[in-house]
Structure 1
Amino acid sequence: MNIEQAARDALVIEDTRRWVQRAVIGLNLCPFAKAVEVKQQVRYAISTATGAKALLADLKRELLALVAADPQLVDTTLLIAPNGFFDFLEFNEVLARADKLLADLDLEGVLQIASLHPHYQFAGTEPDDITNCTNRAPYPTLHLLREDSVDRAVAAFPNPEAIFETNMQTLQRLGHEGWTALDLSARLKPEDMP
């Protein structure tokens, strides 16, 4: 890896960590995130992939690494793909292949994959609907989670099914102006990528 690539990767991780701290934890969009971030159990991994095949190869590597890691050291992984997948629908199509990869590796029920994207859009919403921001990260990202950790967190949280609705209300109160004020945008733009 050259120095320029290392500097870009560091900036991508810094942007993503800022989003985790200000939005995910700061707005309490995921009540389980603070503990793993504070304990430094989140692995921030970069995929330089520009296409699905390369991203899936990186995903396979990260899934196997997460399963092999001590959960006290690495509980979850954010696999960030800043060099491609700028179109949300294209990225969303990769998620179906990612779930198939999870099954092929016999990791269903062990790990799960969630998707985050700068242009994330829930079905039935308009692109500018503020509630889409609950899943909007600075860069296309696959979040790899341990099922055991999710189960423990959900069991310890009163009324976990209310999280989604609470998040929608939080974003509606915050509004676009409040979201923008959080300064969560990616500092690297598509034209900055190699």
Structure 2
Amino acid sequence: MRPAAQGRPDEGGFTLIELLVSLTILGLVSAALVLSMFSMLTFSKSSRDTARGSYDRDLSSAVFANDVFGSTSTGATFAVAATCVSGATAVVETRGASFDGTAADPSDVVTVTDYHLSGGALLRTTCSFAGTTASGTPVAGTTTVVARNVSAATAAWVSGGSNRQVRLTLTSSVDGSSWALLGTRRTA
């Protein structure tokens, strides 16, 4: 009879304790990876929201400054019935004179720009009138979203000037912070 076959001494396997220790370590490493991924996703959303708010502030500053600069000696009016949007109240309305040289009969044009709040956003609507006054039926223009998540907006002339600078203050509905848009009207 032959003796029972025994494995070589260098062919040892895992013991139950070694297996349990390695599974525990693997679980801890996996949990750490999952937690870091969740924190990265949260950080990414926060960064995206900050970038979106920054974009809105930059865009609204540039557009508003250009609209006020282009207004004529009448400048701007505040908290009036919007000319370009029926039923809306314009926080700020500017009027500028221009010349339409592309029309079959070149003529003077008055461009009206209304800034008004709607659905938590600051909207900019433009329309134009043929002639030198904003009367009659306006030619439909465009409406664009200038800033999102706006809960309040107030406008006024900047004191100390001769009604040349307009400040539009906006309040964020997300964090309650406010920022001001400033535009300077041309003098000629």
- TM category (shorter chain) comes to under 0.3
- Higher strand fraction (1 or 2): 2
- Higher helix fraction (1 or 2): 1
With normalisation by structure 2, the TM-score equals: 0.22
With normalisation by structure 1, the TM-score equals: 0.22
* Structure showing greater relative contact order (alpha-carbon pairs closer than 8 Å, 6 or more residues apart): 1
- Greater Rg over alpha carbons, structure: 2
